[in-house]
Amino acid sequence: MTQEKDHLHLKSIESILSFALAIIEDNYYFYKKWAEKVKNPALKEALLELAKEEHRHKTILMSVEHNLDFRDLTEKTIDLKLSDYFVNTRPHENMTYQEALQIAMKREKTAIETYQYLESICKSPKVKEIFHALAEDAIHHKHELEKQYVDKYMSEN
């Protein structure tokens, strides 16, 4: 999502949180759906783990709506930017683990950009902090996916 994107519908904390929750739920259901469809057991497990992380993100955002404190900031993680070099891969029932990693990295990249954008348009320091933490968390997820990809598909044998 770019800074230039029209954000007329994102004028309140409630609308911003609602927008972010919709993205998180979309990712959650995407990972759950494909975990049920794929044939590879290791891939199924990886997709379920990603769905679990999306559920955790939803819990974090829901806590804001209930005025709970959020202090679980993650450490800075380096983005290897591998997903920048992949063409878009469409999910399918017989996708390989490699294809699933590429799809997941692209989705995490989109989540990072979205959280960073939402952080930039928020005025509330507390909400800014939460979107910053969610972006850092997504960067960490993407980094873990990238490490798996490098280990499995790019390392010399």
Indicate the number of domains in the chain: 1
Higher-confidence residue of 78 and 58: namely 58
Q: Are 95 and 43 in contact (CB under 8 A)?
A: yes
| Confidence at 71, pLDDT banded by 50, 70, 90 | very low
Checking if the pLDDT of 157 tops 50, the result is: no
Confidence of residue 10 (pLDDT cuts 50, 70, 90): low
Alpha-carbon radius of gyration of the chain? 16
**To the nearest whole percent, how much of the chain has pLDDT over 70?**
75
- Mean pLDDT of the region 128-142: 91
**Residue 70 in domain:** yes
pLDDT above 70 (res 43):
yes
According to the model, what pLDDT value does residue 48 have? 94
Residue 136 belongs to a domain with what CATH number? 1.20.1260.10
Q: Is residue 108 part of a domain?
A: yes
**Residue 35 domain flag:** yes
Looking at residue 156, its pLDDT comes to 53
Which span out of 1-5, 32-36, 60-64, 65-69 was modeled with the highest average pLDDT? 32-36
pLDDT band at 81 (very low <50, low <70, confident <90, very high): low
- Quote the DSSP letter at residue 90: -
Asked whether the CA dihedral 74, 76, 77, 83 is positive or negative, the reply is: positive
Instruction: Answer yes or no: is 69 within a domain.
Output: yes
In this predicted structure, what is the pLDDT of residue 74?
A: 42
Pairwise CA distance, residues 60 & 121, whole Å? 19
Is residue 56 in a domain? yes
Q: Is residue 66, in this structure, part of any structural domain at all?
A: yes
pTM (predicted TM-score): 0.68
pLDDT value, residue 72? 40
Domain that holds residue 31: 13-154
Q: Which residues in 58-86 are b (16+ Cβ under 10 Å) and which e?
A: bebbeebeeeeeeeeeeeeeebeebbeeb
